[in-house]
Structure 1
Amino acid sequence: MESQAPPVSDGLRPIPDGGLDEAIPVLRRGFPDRDRRFWERGFARLGAARRSGPLGYLLRSRGEDVGVLLTFRSERLGREGRTATVNLAGWYVAPGHRWQAPMMLRRVVTERETVFTDLTPSTSVERLNTALGFETCNEGRVVTFLPPWAALPSPSGAGVVGLNHPAAAQVAEGDLLERHEALGCVAAVLREGDRVSPLLFRVAPRMGIRHANLIYADSRQGVLANRAAIARFLVARGVLALTVDGDRADCPRGSLFRTGRCRFRKGGLDRDRIDYAFSELVLLDLDT
């Protein structure tokens, strides 16, 4: 007589490796405009980038999966050692079970010494994020049309180079840059005198032109202050516009500020730093 697998108990459980067939039907109910191929591609990209932690969590009630939360975990190497970062992505709870949503999120974000991000929350989730200790990272976006800036000199003499330049070897985040370049991002290094810093852009067509979103930088103020150098690097690659998440006060003359989607972060908030590495914006290839 064949033994049967024990029934899955109700509650919150990690999505196991190879558990896509369990997660994708719930994701498709929550995001009907995304087909199965979209999620399979996203999980494949996540598998190539992921090194630890669960893919996410499923919420089960009365023998049925009624909720899902994807958790894209990665690590950063900083002055005080390695820090875990978890990007919350693809969150959905069925209408009749939304009362369980706060419990679901609260249980996931309790890890100490871990940074949590939510980059594409709905309006209702924004309120829940705030109640759970998340803070907003920006008020909107700074948009720059790059060709005019590419013709200007850099006031500080700064320059931007690709990863094949010897200066790239001086950047501590070299592995992060290389892995994102393999995922289709544009990786670069900003040189200001003896100082080097990493840059990551996600490039996608928008309104008929190639547009870059800043995905990773030590300082968004530093990026905006060096628009001329960055413009020359990006325009040479066919990119004509740059978007940097920021506050209205960050927007310098010659750029346009637009209110838009706020990003949320819990733990280690530095409003000048942009860090969407290994997030849904990259792994799910979202243009938002």
Structure 2
Amino acid sequence: MLARGTTELAPIGRADVERVAQFLHEHLNRRVSPEAWAAAMVPPWTFEAPNHGFLLHDGGEVVGVHLAFYSSRVIDGQQRLFCNLGAWCVLDSHRSQGLRLLRALLAQREFDFTDLSPSGNVVALNERLGFTRLDTATAVVPNLAWPSRSSRARVVTRADEIEGLLDPHERQLFLDHREAAAAHHLVLVAGGEHCYVVARRDRRKNLPLFASLLYVGNPELLAAHPMPVRRCLLLHLGALATLAELRIVGIRPRLSVMVPTPRAKMFRSRELRPESVDYLYSELACVAW
């Protein structure tokens, strides 16, 4: 534990989860209940995380928080350790000390870092600290309830059926994220092939009317049979439109419009290439806001 004046910096342990969750509910996003914050801070996948992020406290009261989501991934045949930077909130009275939280996280040099929902001010700060922007060019396409003209394509949403359709790698992804609060799973099946899709319900201009695609296992199949998936996202998530990053879907969807200012996503690594970074094992899968 380090101290400067009366404000102390400490890792977030299991014993801190409830009070950190209450702090984030009160000071960052009241749409997310304290119970939901607490559940999100302990991800469903298996990994011995060193902490849940870092906190600042003053006189025993939490005055700042920066969450972190840790995982171990196999990238190009090598095991890599990831730290996804999550919610960052500091009271105005202690704003000058907020950077201590980020520096404590980045001091864990054994990890590759991702920041998949940085705010405008944080983007510039991250760039100064060595983060690289991902190409987040995004198309928005309406979700329609029209039935598919193709009798060869269907969408599976039942968990027990999904697991049976996936190969070992994607089955593990599914099992790791099955209980993640913001991750919604479906499998498009057509012509003897399948496409595993993970989506989240998203907001734009404070309207929860969008679906964002976090993972697409077979972009070519999705491009060939998009309508059943869009119809599923409309009926199951209430999403009137889908936000499809081209780096995730590969091919710009028909009838789509490009988003003029897509949201930034960033990573920091000495070795990883942008194409090795995805959006699973992160705050985007765990926190439904």
TM superposition score category, shorter chain reference: 0.7 to 0.9
1:126-173, Cα deviation, whole Å (9 max, x unpaired) = 11111112222244531112338863559xx88754551576241403
Amino acid at match of 1:76: R
Separation in 2, partners of 1:144, 1:130: 31
Query: Which residue of the partner structure matches residue 277 of structure 1?
Result: 280
Separation in 2, partners of 1:117, 1:38: 25
Separation in 2, partners of 1:140, 1:92: 27
1:94-116, Cα deviation, whole Å (9 max, x unpaired) = 33543433443133124445332
C-alpha change, 1:140 and 1:101, in structure 2 (3 Å) is farther
Preserved contact between residue 216 and residue 274 of structure 1 (Cα < 8 Å):
no
Deviation of 1:233 after TM superposition, in Å, equals: 5.3
Deviation of 1:38 after TM superposition, in Å, equals: 1.3
Separation in 2, partners of 1:115, 1:149: 43
Residue 34 of structure 1 is aligned with which of 30, 34, 46?
30
Q: TM-score, normalised by structure 2?
A: 0.72
Query: Which residue of the partner structure matches residue 255 of structure 2?
Result: 254
Deviation of 1:214 after TM superposition, in Å, equals: 0.8
Matched, 1:59 2:56: yes
1:38-65, Cα deviation, whole Å (9 max, x unpaired) = 1322212443615321111112468764
Preserved contact between residue 56 and residue 70 of structure 1 (Cα < 8 Å):
yes
Map 1:84-233 onto structure 2 (within 5 A): 84-112=81-109, 114-147=111-144, 151=148, 161-162=156-157, 164=161, 168-183=165-180, 185-189=183-187, 198-203=196-201, 211-218=210-217, 223-224=222-223, 227-228=226-227, 230-231=229-230
Query: Secondary structure at 1:147's aligned position in 2?
Result: coil
Separation in 1, partners of 2:233, 2:2: 52
How many residues are treated as equivalent by the alignment? 273
Preserved contact between residue 217 and residue 274 of structure 1 (Cα < 8 Å):
no
Separation in 2, partners of 1:173, 1:27: 32
Separation in 1, partners of 2:167, 2:37: 31
Deviation of 1:14 after TM superposition, in Å, equals: 0.8
Query: Which residue of the partner structure matches residue 242 of structure 1?
Result: 242
RMSD of aligned alpha carbons: 4.0
Amino acid at match of 1:201: A
Preserved contact between residue 137 and residue 262 of structure 2 (Cα < 8 Å):
yes
Separation in 2, partners of 1:96, 1:235: 43
Separation in 2, partners of 1:223, 1:200: 12
Query: Secondary structure at 2:85's aligned position in 1?
Result: strand
Matched, 1:43 2:42: no
C-alpha change, 1:232 and 1:67, in structure 2 (3 Å) is closer
C-alpha change, 1:149 and 1:223, in structure 2 (3 Å) is farther
Gaps of at least 5 residues in structure 1 are 1-7
Q: In percent, how many aligned pairs have the same letter?
A: 27
Query: Which residue of the partner structure matches residue 3 of structure 1?
Result: none
Q: TM-score, normalised by structure 1?
A: 0.73
